[in-house]
Chain A
Amino acid sequence: MRAGSHLERVMEKGLFAVTGQLIPPKGNDAGGVKKKAELLRGYVDAVNVTDNQRAMVRMSSMAASSLLIGMGLEPVMQMVTRDRNRIALQSDILGSTALGVKNLLLLTGDHPCLGNQVDSKNVHDLDSVQLIDCARRMREEGKILGGEGFAGEVGILIGAVVNPFGDPFEFRVVRLAKKIDAGADFVQTQPVFDMNRFKEWMGMVRDRGLHERVHIMAGVVPLKSAAMAEFLRSGVPGITVPDNVIGRMAKASEPAEEGIRICVEQIEELKEMEGIHGVHIMTVDWEEKAGQIAEMAGLLPRPVLW
């Protein structure tokens, strides 16, 4: 055990893992965070807490993660390289683990020009692969970048994000391999809508044996409406939504129900796929549906491992 987190236990036991998502508010309402988090209790093994996603200013992922820990829920604290240099990133790894965070998800983050701080100074001191390497060294060698030691131990499960739907397509598996080599214990993918492309990518992953070196969780997003599907396709970097999904949403008399049906179908297909070790259900501010999706997809009850 590297972190002793619940998520790690689930993965190590070879169980199909489930994570949810909590987007901290554009404000400092701790009560609101707790209310959203309560909707996920019992339905997921851990909750991803996003870090100023889409480059919008929100409550910090560390603070929101700490609120979850206080409620007895397990966070996967996300950290992006966009806003902090290596001093701040390493400081936050020390700080968050002191607060009880045991799972980190390390990623680059959307570019500032897509958010509400377009004039900000873009940091990107480290890239996500370098940050994964840095976190692994902190855990395994007890050293920060540059080689200096620190007091205490950093017990963390290191997560990364991979996008099978970005280009150049052939590089996407190389990118996964680099993240595994750097120290990723698990990866979550960008939301799967294009199942054909995802299967093609997983084939390449298996050809290299990468599914045996890392826990792969496939991302899913329940759609609320055809407009949301269209927005994800055109407005969110790295997400592709094929025409047949848009078509089903557009034709549905109850689009929200259709979106959940599509999501459940995807999970059922992913559960059967060789090399997939779990799903990351990104409800995008629709936490109240996480339980229903987990129930319908046969993911309940979640294991209790201590």
Chain B
Amino acid sequence: MIKAEQKPVDEILGFLDAYKRILLVGCNGCAAVCHAGGEREVAILAATLRMARKKLGQKLEILEETSPRQCEPEFVDALAGKTEDVEAILSIACGVGVQALAERFSEIPVYPGVNTMFMGKTVEPGVWVERCQACGNCVLHLTGGICPVTRCAKQLLNGPCGGSRDGVCEIDGETPCAWQAIYDRLKATGQLDRLELFVPAKRWGRESRDRGPRTIVRGDLKQ
């Protein structure tokens, strides 16, 4: 799922300097799962912002809402009744949610309360790690189910660079080498022959993020 973390409170306060009444909207999808933007975080952030403004001797009225999923039009529409006299919206959904609100409520400034980080998995409670960059042309069948695009700092597709030592990447003493992990996994599954395959240059421009927003159209679902 998408992982996000809250922006520093001072940065958020900076966005809200000019406003006296705002709508704070959380999301019960991914942002809630990673404890960055669910109902609980909406309540905590609202209290924090109110207190901070009070210290400055300025009032801030905050309406609190949490959408089931800010990336879905019907849930965004459901917020329409909550925006009366609201000077700005603060969203703590991922970047998709923030943009969905900005598209829907074109007259109201919308600000992000979180930094959207990556697509990842939970390693342990409170620890998330990136596992996919949505590059649009999956190579996991060649690499033992371990993604070199995400996990190799150089996104190498044909094996490790010279900087891999003792299973660790050259960028620091802690990041595991993706290709060591791929090698170990292919060895364990008796698939080492896959390492011999030449993987041609990737089609970043056609299948990946470098061509503006990608779109999926499923004709069978389209109304």
Alpha-carbon gap, A237 to B155, bound state (A): 17
Number of interface residues of A (CB under 8 A): 38
> Which B residues touch A114, using CB under 8 A?
170-171
Known contacts A114-B171, A127-B158, A178-B159; is A166 also within 8 Å of B198 by CB?
no
Task: Select from chain B the residue with minimum beta-carbon distance to A170.
Answer: B183
A238 touches B165 (CB 8 A): yes
Contact flag A237-B162 (CB < 8 Å), given A127-B156, A174-B196: yes
Pick the contact of B171 from A113, A166, A174 — CB < 8 Å?
A113
- Taking the nearest CB of chain B, how far is it from the CB of A141, in angstroms? 15
User: Which of chain A's residues have a CB closer than 8 A to the CB of B198?
Assistant: 129, 133, 178, 181-182
Q: A113-B171, A124-B154 are in contact. Are A134 and B201 (CB under 8 A)?
A: yes
Q: List 20 A-B contacts (CB under 8 A).
A: A86-B201, A110-B170, A111-B171, A113-B153, A124-B155, A125-B204, A127-B154, A127-B156, A127-B157, A128-B158, A129-B158, A161-B162, A162-B162, A167-B164, A175-B159, A177-B196, A178-B159, A181-B198, A182-B198, A238-B162
From B154, B166, B199, contact of A108 by CB (8 A): B154
A126 at the interface (CB under 8 A from B): yes
Q: State which residues 154-200 of B face A: CB under 8 Å.
A: 154-167, 170-172, 177, 179-180, 183-184, 195-196, 198-200
Within 8 A of A (CB), among B71-86: none
Could you tell me if B195 and A166 are in contact, using CB atoms closer than 8 angstroms? no
- Tell me whether A190 is interfacial, beta carbon within 8 Å: yes
Mask, B4-24, CB within 8 Å of A = 1, is: 000000000000000000000
Max chain A Cβ within 10 angstroms of own Cβ: one of B154, B159, B162, B170: B162
Count contacts on B: residues with CB < 8 A to the other chain: 31
Distance in angstroms between the alpha carbons of A174 and B183 in the assembled complex: 11
List of B residues within 8 angstroms of A86 by Cβ: 201
* Cβ-defined contact, B179 with A133, below 8 A: no
A130 B157 Cβ-Cβ under 8 A? yes
A238 closest partner in B (C-beta): B162
Given contacts A166-B164, A167-B180, contact A111 B153 (CB under 8 A): yes
Give min CB distance, B146 to chain A, whole Å: 13
* Chain B, interface SS category: loop
Within 8 A of B (CB), among A161-185: 161-163, 165-168, 170-171, 174-175, 177-178, 181-182
- Contact present for A110 and B163 (CB under 8 Å): yes
> Within the complex, which residue of A113, A126, A182, A190 is in contact with B162, where a contact is CB–CB below 8 Å?
A190
Identify A124's interface contact among B156, B183, B195, CB under 8 A: B156
Whether A168 pairs with B184 at a CB distance below 8 angstroms is yes
Known pairs A130-B201, A167-B164; A178 contacts B153 (CB<8 A): no
Check: A82 CB closer than 8 A to any chain B CB: yes
Q: Which residues of B contact A124 (CB under 8 A)?
A: 154-156
Chain A residues with CB below 8 A from B160, complex form: 166-168, 171, 175
A240 x B165 contact (CB < 8 A): yes
**What separation, in Å, do the CA atoms of A168 and B186 have in the docked complex?**
12
Specify which of A145, A161, A181 is in contact with B201 (CB 8 Å cutoff). Answer: A145
